[in-house]
Structure 1
Amino acid sequence: MSETPRRPRRDPRRERLQHRIEAGARPRFDLAAAPGDSERPRRDPRAERRLAEVPGTPRLRLDRTQRVAAAARPSPAPVPDAGPRLVAIAEPAFLVAVVPDAPQGRLTPHDRQLFGAARLLADAGGGAVLALGTCEDLARAGADRVLPLPVAGYDPEARAMALHAVLAALDIRHALLPESPEGGDLARRLAALLDEPLFAGAESLNAQAVTRPARGRRIEQRRSPPRLITLAADAALPHAGTLHEALDVAFAFPPLMPGAILSAEAVPADPALVPLAEADFVVAAGNGVVDFGTFHALVEALHATPGASRMVCDAGLMPRAAQVGASGTVLEARCYFALGIAGAPQHLQGVARCQHVVAVNTDLHAAMVERAGLAIIADAQQVMPALLRELAREAGE
């Protein structure tokens, strides 16, 4: 075994001899000289006092605002930001498969939490994370390998058969899917094809155990992680800090038999009728909005769901069901567009889970402006017609 390098031991006698001045009968020492083996320079209070003296004054005056000692020391060179560290796993011991929902090729927050849980399982034993499906930002999400599935559109039966072929051929120790409408349905189809147990709705996960509530959340079920697991939302943190390779994997899929689904098409719901808790894009009005005709026209042009602050609902300008906040509806939207909303604490609690927040307010220091990822410091009454004109121009083009 190699010994840990120790810090060199100081020799006070030798350091004292290095500072000694060979002159005179009595021993004298220059304590301001450079120390021996120590990298920390010794302070000289007399020199600092001389440098702090203000010249041209009859009485002694010192300028204590100048940090002479700190300025005299050589400042360390700035370390350039090299960005996230790239992690490469050449020969993994096993694979942890992740099947994200990834609507429209974008990872949802639930998908990123899935990759974070997969990294916990893979890093505990020298494994690698395999993403089954193609979408953006897989390397930053934590994927070491990527295997596209030969299935287009909504076809859960064909996707389940393709996943069955992958799990039967590759050394996959765990397969993680989101406990969502699509991910949960796919996981149960896959469990039936593999004839394996499924641990559904896991709320905590590590390399030793996986848990979930049962019997109306009165008890907790715990066991070692099985092969098939679906993860509940907010059960794990997303991966952050390192960049992974996301290398493409070559795999020969067997010919997939045609299933019972001949064609499927997603029918978008009317955003004006979608409940706030299920809305993807919410445009909300606050005290800074006076012209609600223009506000509703903007909401319709943006294909968004209307919302409002508590003060607007209390005034009867919007229905109570449109109230956003801790005393109204807590949003899970991908984007929240706040028009003239200052941002009370209970309102900010209602938008805490939104991915992107855009705020329009005349107050630069409003709480909603600080929360927003993009802020427009202007009057909402002037921004709304400008947005409508820009949307009409793009629609005409």
Structure 2
Amino acid sequence: MSRLRRDPRAERAARALPTQGRPRLQLGTPVSEGRLRRNPFAERAAAEVQGRTRLRLDRAGGGPRSVSVASPPAAPEPRAPERRLVPEPAFLVLAVADVPGGHLSVHDRQVLGAARVLADAGGGAVVLLGGTLPQDAGAAGADRIACLPEADDPDRRAGALMAAIAALRPRHVLWPESRIGGDLARRVAVRIGEGLFCGAEQVSARAVARPARGRRVEQRREPPLLLTLAEGAAAPHGRTVHEARPIDLPLPARLDFESAILSIEEVPADPATVPLGEADFVLSAGNGVTDFAAFGALAEALGATPGASRMVCDAGLMPRAAQVGASGTVLSARCYFALGIAGAPQHLQGIAGCEHVVAVNTDLHAAMIERAGLAVVADAQAVMPALLALLAEEAS
């Protein structure tokens, strides 16, 4: 642990011969006398506690020793989130959602978040109204849920909503400022003779606001009975899980007003001709796709709108209108399927508003793989025929 420390002066004096004049030294090895010199490396090794993943030293002395390493404690089982109950609300706030495909869209969740802000300010409850009842309505902030009748006739849908407003007597009714929600809100506002605050961009318990006169001024007022919410104007609710208890609504046997709509026929749009900015499902090709015949067949089989990265459009393999990204089209699709796209920053900016992203790429560390909610690390050229075979098997 320690050794004698040399003293050169003492050694020189011990070797000196008793002569006159020039000093002479005896070259023999004299008995060294000195003090002990510390060896910090040996002390550290002796004090180290064996059997630890992290270095630990025993400063009390006693030499090296070993300790038994206990196994790490098991992680506690995650508890189910507690549901927040509002048994007797002071008032109700209706959130009318589009619920496309039976799922809450990002805009629907923002409407529920704004309704939650209005309801929590005074002990109210949020009632979600939609054509279908989504399973995650409680996590989105709904205390009650009710189903509106699925009707192609917007006047019949407006009549059912007017009956619900008359029965529940809510303090506020919110819609998304979308193609479906905005039209329904205006029909209800005209029929019941109430003013509609359209495109609110700020919602609080005290006031709502929106831009006007070419966004040069701001209109602000107290939260009205009827208002529509602009996209991105409120944050989705995500703090607590609410009850989402189903309730029954009175459905009118007939309309209280005369409808001008004689017949309705739904004409499905061709996904290949839908503009990228309005598409709900986009299948996009990147530099990893070389067989564009298989890519087009896969887009047709999936019912998706074809898109492409900038490199593919620069090469002339896809039209410029199909380019996705900050320098092309910024998407708001519900699902984005990327084949062989690495994920340049400008491309990721173009899909920032997509709710679900699926990526196929050979590079595990690609930015698109990190962005995707579902990633397949494989060659896109091998994945496309496999998907076509599965789709053909399902169709048959």
Q: Do the two structures share a fold, i.e. TM-score over 0.5?
A: yes
Contact conserved, 1:84 with 1:241, CA < 8 A, in 2? no
Match of residue 84 from structure 1:
81
Matched, 1:327 2:327: yes
Q: Between Structure 1 and Structure 2, whose CA radius of gyration is higher? A: 2
Tell me the distance in 2 between the aligned counterparts of 1:171 and 1:314. Answer: 57
Distance of aligned partners of 1:350 and 1:58 in 2 relative to their CA distance in 1, 3 Å threshold: closer
Choose from 48, 66, 70 the match for 1:62: 48
**Structure 2 unaligned blocks of 5 or more:** 1-39, 59-67
Quickly say closer, same or farther: Cα 1:74–1:294, change in 2 above 3 A: closer
Give the 3 Å change call, closer, same or farther, for CA 250–300 of structure 1 in structure 2. Answer: closer
Kindly indicate whether residue 142 of structure 2 is the aligned counterpart of residue 143 of structure 1: yes
Instruction: Give the 5 Å matches for 1:237-276.
Output: 237-257=235-255, 259-276=259-276
Which deviations, in whole Å up to 9, do the C-alpha atoms of 1:131-165 show, x marking residues without a partner?
2233212222211112323x322222122222222
Change (3 A) 1:72 1:121: farther
Q: Residues of 1 paired with 2:72 and 2:101: CA distance?
A: 50
Q: Aligned residue for 2:384?
A: 384
Task: Report the equivalent of 2:28.
Answer: none
Note closer, same or farther for the CA distance 1:250–1:336 as it changes in structure 2 (3 Å cut).
closer
Q: Is the alpha carbon distance of 1:193 and 1:76 closer, same or farther for their aligned partners in structure 2, counting shifts above 3 Å?
A: same
- TM-aligned CA deviation for residue 67 of structure 1: 4.9
Please give the secondary structure, in 1, of the residue aligned with 2:364. coil
Aligned equivalents of 2:361, 2:211: Cα separation in 1: 43
Give the Cα–Cα distance (whole angstroms) in 2 for the partners of residues 250 and 309 of structure 1.
Answer: 48
Write the distance in 2 (CA, Å) between the matches of 1:58 and 1:162: 81
Secondary structure, aligned partner of 2:392: helix
Deviations 1:104-130 (A, max 9, x none): 322111111110100000011000001
Match of 2:109 among 107, 112, 119: 112
Question: What SS class does the counterpart of residue 172 from structure 1 fall into?
Answer: coil
Aligned partners of 1:54 and 1:61 also within 8 Å: no
Measured after TM superposition, the shift of residue 184 of structure 1 is 1.1
Match of 1:339 in 2: 339
For 1:207, give the aligned amino acid. A
Task: Quickly say closer, same or farther: Cα 1:306–1:66, change in 2 above 3 A.
Answer: same
For normalisation by structure 2, the TM-score amounts to 0.80
* Identity over aligned pairs, percent: 63
Alignment of 1:152-167 (within 5 A): 152-167=150-165
- The separation in 1 between residues aligned to 2:294 and 2:174, in whole angstroms, is 46
Closer, same or farther in 2 for the Cα pair 1:253/1:58, shift >3 Å?
Answer: closer
Aligned residues: 341
Report the 3-state secondary structure (helix = DSSP H, G, I; strand = E; otherwise coil) of the residue aligned with 2:316.
coil
Matches for 1:271-350 after TM superposition, within 5 Å = 271-350=271-350
CA distance in 1, matches of 2:208, 2:317: 48
Matches of 2:251 and 2:382, distance apart in 1: 56
Give the distance between the partners of 1:349 and 1:383, measured in 2 at CA: 26
Q: Deviations over 1:300-340 (max 9, x none)?
A: 22111111111111111111111111111111111111111
How far the C-alpha of 1:72 sits from its partner, in A, is 10
How far did 1:389 drift? 1.6
